[in-house]
Chains A and B, each alone.
Chain A
Amino acid sequence: MTFRQARWEEPSIWDLAPTRTKDTVPEVPGVPEKFRRKEPIHWPELSELEVIRHYTRLSQMNFGIDTATYPLGSCTMKYNPKVTELLARRPGAADVHPYQPEETVQGSLEVLWRLERILARITGLPEISLQPAAGAHGEYSALLMVRAYFRDQGTLGERTEVLLPDTAHGTNPASAAMAGFTTKEIPDKDGSVDLDALRGALSKKTACFMLTNPNTAGLFESGILEIAETVHDAGAMLYYDGANLNAIMGITHPGRMGFDVAHLNLHKTFSTPHGGGGPGAGVLAAGEKLGPYLPVPRVVKEGRKFRLDYDRPKSIGKIKLAYGNFGLDLRAFAYILSHGEEGLEHVSRRAVLNSNYTASRLGKFLPRPFRTLVKHEFVLSGAPLKERGVRTLDLAKRLLDEGVHAPTVYFPSIVEESLMVELPETESKRTLDEYVAAFERAISDTPEHLHAAPHNLSVTRVDEVRAAREPLLSWKDLRAASAKAETP
C-alpha cells in the first residue's frame, strides 16, 4: 500500500479574496486623530465557511501523531489522550480568568496544588513551580535561580560558568548564556560523560552542570552518583534536563540521583499535545537549596483552602504572566490520574522495551555507535550511506514517503550523520514492525530515489538553502517579490 498525503492546490488566505483597503476605519470615541489607523488591517474579508475550508485543507497537509508514526528522538511523541482534550475545554477550566479572586478559583488552585505534589513525588524534589511555558523557559528560570542563590552566597562574581556535556540539547547552552553564564562543553567517552574530563573542568568558577539522564545518545549515565558527588564537592549545582524523563519513572528520579533542580516537559512525558511546536509546559522542581528561589506565586494549602502565596522573599519573581499553562497542567493531571503509580512505571518500562526492540532490529541496517542497552531512544549513524552517495537527510525524506515521520537527524552531533529514534510506549509491536519494514524499504531503495524523495507528500523536496538566502518571510515580502518580478 502506497502512502499519499493530500495535495491541495490551496491558495494562501489572502489570495482567496481581494482585501478592502479602501474601506474606512470606524470612528472610535476618544481615539485621537494622530493615533487613528488610516486603512483597515490589510487582510481579506471571508465567510466562515471559506475560512474553515482553507484551514481544514491545510491541516490535511500535515503529519500529526494521530495520522502517522512519529519517532522523533528527544520529543516523546506519544499518544495525546482524547479525554484530556475534553476536560481542558470544560467551562470550569477554560472560562476562568487568572485575576478572579482566590475564593472563586479553588478548583483551579486544587489542580495546580495536587499536580505539584504528584510531580514532587515523581521527581524526588519537593518544591515545584508550574510557571514556565516550555522546557527551555524552565531551564532559563532555573539558571536565574542558580544565579540568585550564588548572589546570596556572595560568590556570584566567581561562579560564572555553566558546564554541559557535548550531547546536551541546544537549549541548555542557549539558556545558560541568556542567564549570563559562559558555557563549556565536557567531551563524552563512548556517549557518556567523561568523568575525568568533568573533574578537570570543575572549579570555583563552576555554577552549574546541566545534564539529561538518560542522555541524548539514549544512554543512562551510570556514573550519575559519582557525577553528583563531584559536582557538589566543587560547590556547584547539578541541573536535570527532564526532556528524557519518560525512560525512568518509577525506576529512579532526579532527587535520588542527586540533582538540585530540574525541569520537566509536560508536553513530552505527560502527553500534553505539542500543537505543531507549542504550547508546552516546563515545570520546575527544586530541592532545599534552590526551592526558595522558585517564581512567585506558589500555591499553598491552608486547611481545605488553597491560596496563592507571594511571600517568598528570595523568589526570582515572575517569568511569565499568571501561573503557567493551566490548560496543559490539567491535561497532565488527568493523564497521571489515569495511569497511577503502576501505570507510570509501566509507561517507562514499555517505552524502554519498545526502544531496545526497535534498536536491535534497525541495528541490522546501520551501526549503533555506543553500547546497545539503551533507554527510551537510541542513535544510529548514517555514515555508511555515504559510500552510496546517500546522506541521512535523504533517508529521512524517503521515510516520509512511507507515511511515517523521520527520526531526529544530525543530533546528537557527536555521531556522524546521526539519526535519533524514539518510539514511545503508546506504539504497538505491530507498529514497530511496520516501522522497521518501512525503514528497510527506504534504506534499500536506489540512491536516485533516495535523492529525489519525497514524492508522496504535498510538496517535493523543499529548497531550504534558497529560503535562507533570499528570505521571504511574509505576504508583504511575497508582494514585493512579485512586483519586482513584473518590473522589466
Chain B
Amino acid sequence: MARWIPDEPGEEAALLQALGISSTDELFTDVPKRARIGRMGVGPAKTEREVVAEVDRILGRNRTLSEFSSFLGGRVSSRYSPAAVDAIVSRSEFYTAYTPYQAEASQGVLRVLFEFQSLWVEMTGLDVANASLYDGASAAGEALLFARRLHEGERFLVPESLPWEERSVLENYASGPGLRVEGIPYDDRTGRLDLEFVRNAVAKKDVFGLLADVPNGFGHIDEGIPELKSILGDVPLVVAADPLSLSVLEAPGAYGADVVVAEGQGFGISPSFGGPLLGLFACRREHARSAPGRIVGATLDTEGRRAFCLTLTTREQHIRRSRATSNICTNDSLMALAFVVYASVVGPRGLARLQASLAEKARTLASALGSVEGLRAPRFDAPYLADFTVEVARGTADEFLDRLRRRKVLGGHSLRNPRPGAVQGPERVLVGVGESTTEKDIAKYASAATAALAAVGRSA
C-alpha cells in the first residue's frame, strides 16, 4: 500500500543522493550474507478496497452475538456501550499517542488516566490505583506478586471455584519466584469458601496472600468474604471485583481488602473475541511504592498551574530494570479511557439501576430454568446479580450447550477445563443476562433447554 509510504517522484532518489548512495542495498551491508533471506512468502499487496472485501468475507464466517439469544456471562461482558464512548475513544489525539513520557505534550492522556485512577479509588474504597494493566487475570497475577512483596510466605490461596483460565494465569505468575497457588474448598450447597480451611492455612504462617472474587467464579456473592480479613490478619487480601457490581455492593476497602483488581471490559469495551480487555489495580497508600504499572500524579507547572505527569517511576522497569516491581511498559490506557467515559456517561445512578435491572432479569431466568427437568438452576443457594451457575444433570454441559446453539441460544459457557487430563468437576454452565435479554429470550432458553435435555434422555 504505497499511500502509507510517501512516494513523491524523486523523493527516495533525493534521500539516497543526500547519503551519497545509489540504492537502499547499501544501507544493509552490515547484515551478513549468511543471515540474509530470500522471499518471505507473504503474498502480493492488495488495494484498500480489496482488503476491506477480503476481511469482510472472512468476518462473514462469524455469527455475531446479535444473531442469538445470548446468555454468555462471566468476566467478558456483552453489555451495550453508548455511542459516546467510542466517539471519544476514536479521537486520534488519544488513540495515536504513545505513553505520556513528555508530560507537557500529553496533558490530555495524563488527565484521563488521573480521572480513571480516581474513579477506581472511589469505587474500591482504597487509596491508590494504577493507570491500568492488561486484563483482569494478569492484574490478579500482578496482585499475587505484589502481595508477596508485602508478606513472607510461599502459598497463595484462591477459591477452588475460580475459573480455570484465571487459575492457570495465576500459576504462571507464581511459578517464576517458586510460589504455589492453592485452592480453598467451598461449601457444596452455597459455594461459600471454607473459612476453617483458611484459618488453618494461615496458622501455618506460610500464606502470603489470598484472592477472593466478588461475584465468584459461579456468579454468586459469598457472604463469608467480609469475614476474611479478620482471619488473615496482616496477610494481604486481594479482592477481584466486578466493576458494575461495585455500584451496589460495599467497596472492598471497607471490609479490609488490601488490593482490588478487576476485569474492566464491561465498561464501554466491545467483546472483540476477548481482546483488548482492561485490568484494574488499586491498593493502600502505604503500599504505593510496591505497586506495579504506570501511575499518574498531580503536580504543578512552573507557573503554578495544575499539571499531571507519570510518577513514582523509580518502581518501573525503565529505571529499576531487574529490581522493578513489574515489567509493565505498555498497559491499556485507551481502554482506561473507555472505562471512565462509560462510567461518566452512564453515571453512578445509571450504573446502580443497570445492575438492579440485570439482577431482576437474572431472577426471572433462574426461575424459568429452575423448572426445567434435568437442570439445577441456580446450582448454589447464594445471592447473585447478573450471572449464576446451572448444573446439567443429564448428559454433558458441552452437549447441552451445543443443542441450544442449534436453536439459536448461546446458553452460557461450560466451566470445565478443556485441557486434556485436567481434573473435572460436575457439568456446570455459567449463565448471565444483559440489557438485550428479553422475556422472550428467557422463554426461548427454557423451551430449548427442555427440548435439549429431553433429546439427551432419549439418546441415553
Contacts and interface: CB of A to CB of B under 8 A. Distances in A.
Contacts of B37: 124, 250-253, 256
Interface string B22-55: 0010011111101111011111111110011011
B442 interface: no
B46 A98 contact: no
Interface in A436-488: 452, 454, 457-464, 466-468, 471-478
A41 B58 contact: no
Contact of B329 (A100, A136, A396): A136
B76 A426 contact: no
B457 interface: no
Contacts of A181: 176
B88 A59 contact: yes
Which of B6, B76, B165, B335 has the most chain A CB within a 10 Å cutoff? B6
Nearest to B84: A48
B210 interface: no
Q: 4 closest A-B pairs (Cβ-Cβ)?
A: A322-B274, A62-B108, A275-B334, A98-B274
A139 B176 CA distance: 13
Given A83-B52, A471-B288, A321 B78 contact: no
B1 A405 contact: no
Interface string B99-113: 111111111110111
Given A278-B332, A463-B299, A31 B221 contact: yes
A278 B89 CA distance: 12
A106 to B, nearest CB: 4
A137 B72 contact: no
Given A48-B84, A341-B43, A41 B348 contact: yes
Interface in B96-140: 96-109, 111-115, 117-119, 121-123, 127-129, 131-132, 134-138
Contacts of A282: 330
Contacts of A265: 330
A170 B323 CA distance: 10
A389 interface: no
Nearest to B316: A170
Interface string A316-340: 1111111111111010011011111
A111 B326 CA distance: 31
A251 B65 contact: no
Contacts of B18: 357, 360-361
A183 B322 contact: yes
B239 to A, nearest CB: 12
Interface residues of B, number: 198
Contact of B132 (A85, A278, A326): A278
Which of B66, B223, B300 has the most chain A CB within a 10 Å cutoff? B300
B355 interface: yes
B72 A99 contact: yes
B95 interface: yes
A272 to B, nearest CB: 10
B327 A40 contact: no
B283 to A, nearest CB: 11
A326 B312 contact: no
Interface string A341-360: 11110110110111011001
Contact of A40 (B31, B70, B348): B348
Given A54-B344, A180-B175, A180-B178, 9 more contacts: A12-B118, A95-B270, A121-B41, A274-B96, A278-B335, A311-B419, A338-B1, A360-B18, A468-B314
Contact of A297 (B34, B45, B418): B418
Interface string B48-82: 10011011101111111110101010111010001
A21 B128 CA distance: 21
Interface in A113-157: 114, 118, 121-122, 124, 133-137, 139-141, 143-144, 147
A238 interface: no
B88 to A, nearest CB: 5
A346 B30 contact: no
Interface stretch (B7-15, B200-208, B228-236, B447-455): B7-15
Given A87-B52, A103-B405, A170-B319, A475 B273 contact: no
Contacts of A209: none
B242 to A, nearest CB: 13
Which of A77, A104, A296 has the most chain B CB within a 10 Å cutoff? A104
Contacts of A100: 63, 65, 72, 410
Which of A122, A173, A297, A406 has the most chain B CB within a 10 Å cutoff? A173
A457 B105 contact: yes
B324 interface: yes
